[in-house]
Structure 1
């Protein structure tokens, strides 16, 4: 089983180098590493010239090829024909030493598994149960572990807008639970994989591309791709495929654009799985969108980052309003 690793990067030379240093010490080294650089300067190229890595090929894309989805498709087109698995990693991640070894074991465990996502240990808040009861509106319990839900999920539960599905499964009104799974060593079947760490059998990427709808930063492009990948087999979150995700602010959009994308792109991926949702599901999706927008307006008072909260809230409002007059066209 041969692995091709695609890392799309933009203006993050130091973060990328930190990631590659953890790739270099893997117990199972990837057979191919493709760096797809959309930076507007040459700092990434220069840092890779000073630090050599085995099996690595560097590509600098043009202006028209820049953007996460375009860069990922650019990388897919250049994967060697002999590869079996195509892996995607965010450039601000750090790998556990057995990342690729354990990833191989997951794919070998079940031929029906065609997509695998990893777990960010520094963002995993699951704890072993110490009691028999955890409030169902405030906690989720799985396999002897529990995790405390964020305030938004708790509020939605009390408003009867919460999901009754397991984490990573998209309910008919789209807004599911994204807290991952406890580190039990198991594989958990899901709908949605996260772009920071996702891998697919080559037959998947040979057939479908990342949607060009998700321009630039590409928020939720991973959700869109993993939903469309389900027609090839199962997606699983593998709790043995471990890494750390250190969110690098470089290259991220401003909060107004982010807020607008959250709403419009969120609507898009919802309709990828549920092209014609029921009236009840539509009502719940729109109600949740309004509640989350109002929470960001409230954050103007309750947080120190008042400008960010306000501009994101305005972005969410504009995004929601735009859906009345200009809905995206869904690509199946």
Structure 2
């Protein structure tokens, strides 16, 4: 069972990465000021480390730094569904609202399914994700007199630690890179945020089960979308959808969706809770449950 002590240790580890990186970068950049953006306009931490929603990246840059500032975030996430759970920690640094660098480590626990598959109860896949995102044009918040969204491109390199296992189930590789383009627009007059992302990917279950498979081994465009409504300046509710490839013959993969609420009492802390529907994962269907994430930063 996941302990509070372990969760705190994961969170503190992520905070140390973010704060260490940001301290070095701030010193190197002649100590710019930070934290002038509106609450929640940097999104929360996506499961692969990028700024966005819980399931999908947005075009926004991590942290609250403006075009003259550096911002940083760190997060810890727990996803509990019927037959599996995911522990996820990471950090991101945003440079001058233009470039974002991120890192995340995912630990996917198979619980009793691992025993049924002959891997052992609680068998865990560990995946490291390193990401980069660059804002191309637009400003999701400031350009309210224009319908032009903020548009960013990004890449996420992923490396799985179970090469033999993922190849046994039909994956071609245990590492790979996703590429995406995101468009995000906040309509302040309606208190609505809209995001659309197109991802080119070979990943099976975001890479937890490797990349490519016996059914297909080519990049496919997948749609990801988010909509959020700002109930107040520090509370947002919304929904997300993430289309998934289906590369493995023995492990059907379904699209993902969630309903979420995010609360940011200050610019330094945000809490996100969601009900997630992840569909079929390996031999277990209807994987639904709770997503919870804590983010700290500036």
Q: TM-score, normalised by structure 2?
A: 0.26
Higher share of residues assigned helix: 1
- Tell me which of the two structures has the higher relative contact order, counting C-alpha pairs closer than 8 angstroms and 6 or more residues apart: 1
Higher-Rg structure is 1
